Structures are given as structure tokens and as C-alpha cells.
Amino acid sequence: MNKPGWIGQIEVGNPFNEASLYKWGMVIDQDLCTGCQACVTACAMENNTSFVGEADAGYGRTMHWLHIERFWDGVYPNVKLTSYQPLLCQHCERAPCEPVCPVFASVHSLSQKTNLQVYNRCVGTRYCANNCPYQVREFNWRDYAPPEPLPNMFHPDVTVRRRGVMEKCTFCLQRLLQAEDKASAEGRVLADGEVITACAQACPTGAIVFGRLDDPESQVSHLRTDGRAAVLLEELGTLPSITYLKGGSSYGRNR
């Protein structure tokens, strides 16, 4: 039983309470993903991500916090692309990037249960990116300041990163915090779907679903029990917050 005004260890409405109710997570249905890249650009627009230009892009230095993977399978004419797979920071509970950081720039947030990158701590060792089995950390090899007046579109809620700093998906932390604070101020709990990431918001097919893993009634919790569900590189024991639903057939799909 919860005390009045409390939910578990959390006092609702207390702004100094850093712990939080929520554990955020995502489910990506690869059977619905059309590879359209709307999530990729939505992420870049939301998070002030730099573009790097053709040469650096060719060296694999693009700053895509989210990219879409696909692989060729078979030989013409029996050839196809594997289901599109949007890949972003998996927000592992046991994140391989965290213990290798010498300056505690890659840390875990107790509140959101996400993996954070503290830009002003980062000294650019790139150990975290080398240790990330999902290759979703992006390093600022240069200062990629865009020419005026392009910076006008920069989001004031999100830091602009500079050279020598590692960055990655934050699960649109600025959105989560704003929504959490608002709900907290109103003395209530966030409803499912009240806050979603930019990629989930843009996704034309609704393949990306974002929500609370700690809420057993949330859409993500339901989808995680689907027979097609899998986490990437499960054998590494990283306990990702993102679950993928296998594409290509309805075998195992929850009714």
C-alpha cells in the first residue's frame, strides 16, 4: 500500500526527489518498419545533431544517433533486404559503455533508468564507443558548427556538442523531464503515451513505440511479451531497454 501522496519510495510532487517512478523503454516492430528514415531526421532535428559532410560521412563519422540497418540476403532473383532495423542506443541496464569511462561521463540515470552521456565530463577517450556492442555512440571528430542562419533551428533545451565529445541517443531526455516535472507538479503519474521520443512521434507506421516498462499495462510492456520479441545481442547480458519484434511474418504474434 502506498502512503497518501507517495508511490512506493517516491513522493509525488517533490521536486527535490531525484528518484523516479519511471523506467523508459521502447519496442520496435520490424514488421512495420518501412525504412523511410523519418525517425532518423526527426532525431537529428530534435537533438541539434550535426551533419558532417560527404567526406567525413564516408569515413563513418556521421552523427546519426539513430540509423537504420538492413542487410542483403540471397542472390538475384531470389534476393531481398532483411527487415529494416532502426538502431539506436539500447539504454542497457548493464551498459558496457559505463564501466570503461575513466571520467564518469557515461553514467546511468537513477531517475529515468537510461544511459546518460555527460558532455562536459567527456574527455574523448572513445573507450565507450569501442566497448559498445551496438555501435551507436557517435564521436565529434571536428567542430561541425553549421553556417548562419542554420543555428536558428537549434533547440534551446538540448546542448550543442563540440569537438572531442562523445554523444548518443538520450531517449529525448528533455521531453521526458519536461513531462515528468509537469506531471509531478500536478501531483499525478504520467499516462502511457503522454510523452514519446521524436523518432516514435514521427514514425509513419507506428513501428516505434515508446513508453514505461515499469507499468505492466503500458503498450510497450504488452508488446514486450509478443512472441516475436527479441533484444539485440542478448547473450552479452546487457539488458537493453529496447525490444525488437521480428519482421517478415506474423509467426508468434500476440493476438
Partner 1 sequence: MTRQISRRQFLKAAGIGAAAAAVLTGCGPESRYIVREPYTRMPEYTYNGLSTYYASTCRECPAGCGIVVRTEQGRALKVEGNPNNPINYGKTCARGQVALQGLYNPDRIRKPVRQVGRGSQQYSDITWDEAIKVVQAALQENQPGQVAFMLGMVPDHLFDLVSELCVALSAPPPIRFGAHEIFDARRTLSKAMEQLFSARAFPYFDLANADVTFSFGANLFETYLSPVAFSRGFAQMRRGITGRRGYLVQFESRLSQTAAVADEWLPVTPGTEALVALVMGRLVAEIRGSAVPNAYIGVSVENAASASGVAATDLQRLANIFASASSPLAIPGGSALGSSNGLEAAQAVLALDVLAGNLGKPGGLFLSPTTPVLPELPQLPNTLAEVNDLVQRMQAGEVKTLFIHGINPVFELPAALGFAPALAKVPQVISFASFPDETSLQADYILPDHTGLESWGYQKAIGGADRVVISGFQPVVAPFYSTRATADILLAAVQAIGGDLATALPYQDEVEYVQNSLLSLVTLDGFFNAPEIKTFMARFQQFGGWWSTQPQLDTPAGVSALDQPLSASAASFDGSGEFYLFPFMSPIFGDGSGANKPWLQETPDPTTTVMWNSWVEINLEKAKLLGLEDDDVVKIISPYGEIEASVYRYPAIRPDMIAIPFGQGHTAYGRYAQGRGVNPANLFSLKINGADDLAFVATKVSLEKTGRKRVLSRLESKLGVYGE
Nearer to partner 1, 159 or 221 (CB): 159
17 φ/ψ sector (left φ>0, alpha ψ -120 to 50, else beta) = beta
Structure-derived torsion over alpha carbons of residues 61, 62, 64, 70, reported in degrees to the nearest 10: -90
CB 26 within 8 A of CB 241: yes
Which cell numbers in the block locate residue 236? 552479452
Lay out the site mask for partner 1 across 80-99 (x = CB under 8 A, - = otherwise). xx--x--------xxx--xx
How far apart CA 101 and CA 106 sit, in angstroms, is 6
Q: Residue 3 interacts with partner 1 (CB under 8 A)?
A: no
How far apart CA 13 and CA 9 sit, in angstroms, is 13
DSSP letter (8 states) at residue 131? H
Q: Which residues neighbour 153 within 8 Å (Cβ) at sequence distance 6 or greater?
A: 45
For partner 1, the binding residue among 53, 102, 227, 252 (CB under 8 A) is 53
For partner 1, the binding residue among 6, 68, 124, 125 (CB under 8 A) is 68
Q: Residue 9 interacts with partner 1 (CB under 8 A)?
A: no
Q: Residue 243 interacts with partner 1 (CB under 8 A)?
A: no
Q: How far is the CB of 176 from partner 1 (least distance, A)?
A: 9
For partner 1, the binding residue among 27, 52, 66, 190 (CB under 8 A) is 52
Q: Residue 252 interacts with partner 1 (CB under 8 A)?
A: no
Q: Contact region for partner 1 (CB under 8 A) — 73-81, 123-131, 183-191, 220-228?
A: 73-81
Q: Contact region for partner 1 (CB under 8 A) — 110-118, 125-133, 209-217, 219-227?
A: 110-118
Q: Which residues neighbour 17 within 8 Å (Cβ) at sequence distance 6 or greater?
A: 10, 11
